[in-house]
A and B are shown apart, each in its own frame.
Chain A
């Protein structure tokens, strides 16, 4: 590319003439297809065309490129292209010591960082046979559920934003900011908390956190209901979402879906109950499910989950025991050789970590399982037959975060 001054067609015509097409997307890759599926996707039938969405697109929740194959305004097929945010977290973790891993996994899902820290920490505790003090477990659940509310509140805003409504995101940011400021008082950070430690947490509950939490709890339920009312009673929103992107139970299981997206098809699978960890067996909460499996069900289910989270936070505050907040561990950890897997229920589904120790101070293998990655691939299954404008609605209702998808 040479830096020449733009030439105009004529003095009156504002159109610029380019010598060569620069930065124009070429949909068909410049190499022969590598797989059967790629060959099938990049072959156009009569009347079909490709359109490129992203990577810089306001509603892709990060940096995602989707190649859409269109017939008129109907989506025939789509091919998500990932890797724009890939930074090789698993390799970084294998070259960091056990404590450093926590700060490496933090930016994966940047709206629910505590849930990214939790599985590696749990897996390392299993490798080391460490018992976590009960107060630390309560603090983990308390801060985790707060983070879940913040994440779901933001989801409500994003969902509406992707459908073209601007107001709800402003309201949900109010909600999220209160929680994030609260967690900042507890952890010292607003987004990437770096709060959990192997065997406990980094700091005890403090006065500022408790007073902010008290303020928030007194109005949380009414505020959530008010936010929900903004959308739930909006006829355009509801009619657009109902019946869109429907997925049935058997398909959801085949697609390895977990979390709210699976529960919206009627399966009461929640890792907190299905494979209990931490102090969840002692707490009283319900697992909301819905049977429709469409975008509206996924949206409404998340509001139900916020209500359950507020119940859990309330119980944590009432049952909070005294005691230490972290187990005593040496600075340099060398677990015995072995393997450990830990899965938790995050706001998007099952977050998991699989760690292998070889007896040195760094994990030999660190696998991070992220629900966004799993859910994003079912967009290809849900979209065919829908309108191009609904792509973003369906994608937003699955709630993927690209930081987690690309790892």
Chain B
């Protein structure tokens, strides 16, 4: 944990953060709105105070209620991994600006997130499916995608929510589960 780094982040990005900065082990986590992604990452990448030159990972996350896009960054100015979470993408039409203008290598990672979660990265010029066949319709890593085997149906009928594991709160998801479990 790097408390100084936390203070630097707070001083620079205070008005953009949508949640408290969390630190655990060797990770620092900030949450921002999806619209702030390009500006924030550009600042983190370009400003010598931060100097985050390495995009270590880009991942999509479906929490069961919202979608998130998670960026992991590395810089020599801090001993921590920086995790930037673009929080609160709607599950019906998740959209986030692309970061390919900073890291062209993010193109395939964004394609993968699109393939698995259906997240649209605006500005990625090659956003098509990468693993699944082109005529495939669903998004396999979404939480309402069922596996055929029974193991997937154990807690909460295959749909697991991060905060509430017992029952789905979203009416749309509940309808999906009913449809899938009834036959």
Contact = CB atoms under 8 A, between A and B. Distances in A.
Nearest to A353: B57
Contacts of B76: 274
Contacts of B74: 274-275, 343
Most chain A CB within 10 A, of B26, B103, B152, is at B26
A262 to B, nearest CB: 9
Contacts of A208: none
A38 B126 contact: yes
Interface stretch (A4-12, A81-89, A155-163): A81-89
B131 A407 contact: yes
Nearest to A267: B53
A364 B108 contact: no
Given A256-B54, A275-B79, A82 B151 contact: no
B81 A341 contact: yes
Given A338-B24, A341-B27, A378-B105, A35 B130 contact: no
Contacts of B27: 339-341
Given A86-B132, A95-B151, A364-B160, A354 B59 contact: yes
A37 interface: yes
A240 B65 CA distance: 54
Most chain A beta-carbon neighbours within 10 Å: one of B105, B112, B161: B105
Interface residues of B, number: 53
A35 B127 contact: yes
B20 interface: no
B132 to A, nearest CB: 7
B155 interface: yes
Interface string B47-88: 000000111110101100000001010101001010100000
A38 B128 CA distance: 9
Contacts of B104: 254-255, 381
B140 A339 contact: no
B182 interface: no
Contacts of B141: 90-91, 94
A60 interface: no
Contacts of B61: 356, 365, 367
Contacts of B116: 90
Contacts of B134: 29, 31, 34
Contacts of A339: 27, 29, 83
Contacts of B4: none
A145 to B, nearest CB: 22
A377 interface: yes
A35 B56 contact: no
B183 interface: no
Contacts of B128: 34-35, 38
A312 to B, nearest CB: 22
B179 interface: no
Q: Which 6 A-B pairs have the closest CB atoms?
A: A256-B105, A37-B126, A367-B59, A255-B105, A83-B131, A86-B131
Interface of B: 24-27, 29, 53-57, 59, 61-62, 70, 72, 74, 76, 79, 81, 83, 102-109, 112, 116, 125-128, 130-135, 140-141, 145, 147, 149, 151-152, 155, 160-163, 165
Given A83-B133, A258-B54, 6 more contacts: A34-B128, A35-B128, A91-B141, A91-B145, A91-B147, A365-B59
